[in-house]
């Protein structure tokens, strides 16, 4: 289509090009867009005027989005009969992450039912808190999964959700009917393009293995349209590095860059991910089929304005549905502080109730990677909050300064060593 557009409109005296996603997932230049060399010599697209999510959020044009990332243990069997187990969100190879991810999305496991139940509870919170017609959308990878997810939702809610499949006749009408109704849920496959407009969507479940920045941006775009002040959106997703990175950088201005990888090497390798996600009936030379066995779910972290929060699931599923961005930020910080205080109180009570042992204490078991990451994220967020109160700088700006100073990805994707370096750096700031 790019060649056709260029041929049709090249002679035009004036052209106005508008898009909410000014980038591509390949190296084909966008017609009529200027590309200028950046500091590394790569050609980067340049907009004549940019009005992105951050500006629109400040103007009340779009809703604030809270991402709820769910982890859990996934187990699968390889074609050789070997049983593998991995936890979403913990460091592992691209192949293992992709298989743990696909196992979590298997409707036969426990991850999907648990996340759908949590999302439905959040939807109830939106409806009771000022958005009586709030709707939810589950984005599935394929038609089989979509129908299975719909059956699970029907068991949870007692009502069959709308199912929209891209290659079925009448799919556009079903979307329009859902938009005009007050039905709770719609399940869709590949129907998240910019032409799909359902303003009342407030809760999303990203139950797909699609991971390109373009697809993710278009999917999240279904939930951010603001109808009136105070409406918020909640998106549930698997706690995997590529999605955590995209969620954390929602407010960042993204350009189209030619001649270089479209995702930083420190975050993901697109070719490895594509190979690892290849469906079972299309195995590559180095890819063998596997069988999903089991997956459970548990809230790993929340992401808002690029900041990662850790807390109990119940603290967040019942958040009010009408909050402005400042209120969301304040409430999330307060919930995390309350949660941390409860943990400190429990630790103190246990210490007071336990008499001193007569012999040297047994060595404490080593914390898991997940427990270490959660603890370091909490410590970093606490220090950021303290620095915010001292300097009045926004939390997001402080995190960005730390990333510039120390390098590395966003907090949600940072390793133990990277978090420790940021904590040490922030402690040194006066």
Task: For the chain, give the secondary structure using H, E and C.
Answer: CHHHHHHHHCCCCCCCCCCCCCCCCCCCCCCCCEEEECCCCCEEEECCCCCCHHHHHHCCCECCEEEEEEECEEEEEECCCCEEEEECCCCCCHHHHHHHHHHHCCCCCCHHHHHHHHHHHHHHHHHHCCCCCCEEEEEECCHHHHHHHHHHHHHHHCCCCEEEECCCCCHHHHHHHHHHCCCCEEEEECCCCCCCCCCCEEEEEEECCCCCHHHHHHHHCCCCECCCCCECEEEEEECCHHHHHHHHCCCCCCCCEECCCCCCCCCCCHHHHHHHHCCCCCCCCCCCCEEEEEECCEEEEEEECCEEECCCCHHHHCCCCECCHHHHHHHHHHHHHHHHHHHHHHHHHHHHHCCCCCCCCCCCCCCCHHHHHHHHHHHHHHHHHHHHHHHCCCHHHHHHHHHHHHCCCCHHHCCHHHHHHHHHHHHHCC
Query: Average of pLDDT values for 172-199?
Result: 84
* Nearest C-alpha neighbor of 224 from the set 117, 67, 119: 67
Q: Where are the domains of the chain?
A: 54-327, 368-430
Phi first, then psi, for residue 234 (nearest 5°) are -130, 130
Give percent of the chain above pLDDT 70. 76
Q: Is the pLDDT of residue 276 over 50?
A: no
Query: Average of pLDDT values for 382-390?
Result: 76
Task: Give pLDDT, residue 20.
Answer: 75
Task: Give pLDDT, residue 33.
Answer: 87
Q: Is the pLDDT of residue 284 over 50?
A: no
Q: What is the CATH number of domain 54-327?
A: 3.40.50.300
Beta bridge partners of 44: 36, 257
Q: Report the range of poorest mean pLDDT among 117-126, 163-172, 205-214.
A: 163-172
Alpha carbon distance, N-terminus to C-terminus of the chain: 55
pLDDT-derived band at 122 (thresholds 50, 70, 90) equals very high
Q: Give dist(CA 55, CA 108) in Å, integer.
A: 42
Q: Report the range of poorest mean pLDDT among 10-14, 341-345, 361-365, 422-426.
A: 361-365
Q: Is the pLDDT of residue 148 over 50?
A: yes
State pTM to two decimals.
0.74
Q: Report the range of poorest mean pLDDT among 69-78, 90-99, 112-121.
A: 90-99
pLDDT tens column, 298-315: 888 888 777 777 656 566
Between 56 and 138, residue with greater pLDDT: 138
Between 14 and 349, residue with greater pLDDT: 14
Q: Give the gyration radius of the chain's Cα atoms.
A: 23
* Nearest C-alpha neighbor of 136 from the set 155, 116, 110: 116
Q: Is the pLDDT of residue 271 over 70?
A: no
Q: How many CB atoms lie within 10 A of CB 180?
A: 10
């Amino acid at each position: 289509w790019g060649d056709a557009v260029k041929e049709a409109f090249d002679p035009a005296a004036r052209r106005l090009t508008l898009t909410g996603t000014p980038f591509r997932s390949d190296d084909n230049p966008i017609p009529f867009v200027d590309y200028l060399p950046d500091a590394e010599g790569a050609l980067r697209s340049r907009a004549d005027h940019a009005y992105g999510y951050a500006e629109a959020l400040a103007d009340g044009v779009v809703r604030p989005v809270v991402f709820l990332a769910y982890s859990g243990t996934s187990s699968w069997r390889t074609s050789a009969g070997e049983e593998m187990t991995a936890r979403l969100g913990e460091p592992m190879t691209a192949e293992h992450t992709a298989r743990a991810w696909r196992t979590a999305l298997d409707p036969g496991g426990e991850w999907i039912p648990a996340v759908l139940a949590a999302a439905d509870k959040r939807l109830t919170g939106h409806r009771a808190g000022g958005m009586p017609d709030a709707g939810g959308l589950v984005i599935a990878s394929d038609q089989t999964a979509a129908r299975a997810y719909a059956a699970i939702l029907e068991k949870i809610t007692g009502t069959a959700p709308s199912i929209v499949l891209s290659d079925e006749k009448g799919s556009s009408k079903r979307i329009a009917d859902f938009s005009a109704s007050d039905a709770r849920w719609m399940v869709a496959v590949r129907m998240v393009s910019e032409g799909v407009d359902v303003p009342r969507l407030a809760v999303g479940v990203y139950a797909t293995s699609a991971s390109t920045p373009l697809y993710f941006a278009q999917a999240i775009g279904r939930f951010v349209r603001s109808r009136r002040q105070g409406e918020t959106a909640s998106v549930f997703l698997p706690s995997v590095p590529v999605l955590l990175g995209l969620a954390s950088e929602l407010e960042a201005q993204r350009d189209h860059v030619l001649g270089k990888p479209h995702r930083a090497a420190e975050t993901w390798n697109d070719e490895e991910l594509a190979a690892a996600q290849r469906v079972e009936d299309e195995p590559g030379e180095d890819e063998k089929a596997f069988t999903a066995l089991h997956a459970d779910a548990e809230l790993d972290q929340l992401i808002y304005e690029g900041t990662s929060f850790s807390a109990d699931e119940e603290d967040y599923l019942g958040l009010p549905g009408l909050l402005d961005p400042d209120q969301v930020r304040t409430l999330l910080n307060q919930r995390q502080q309350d949660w941390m205080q409860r943990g400190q109180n429990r630790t103190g009570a246990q210490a007071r109730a336990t008499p001193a042992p007569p012999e040297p204490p047994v060595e404490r078991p080593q914390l898991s990677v997940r427990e270490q990451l959660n603890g370091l994220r909490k410590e970093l967020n606490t220090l950021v909050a303290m620095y915010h109160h001292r300097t009045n700088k926004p939390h997001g700006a402080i995190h960005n300064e730390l990333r510039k100073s120390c390098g590395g990805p966003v907090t949600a994707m940072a390793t133990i060593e990277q978090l420790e370096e940021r904590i040490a750096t922030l402690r040194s700031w006066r």
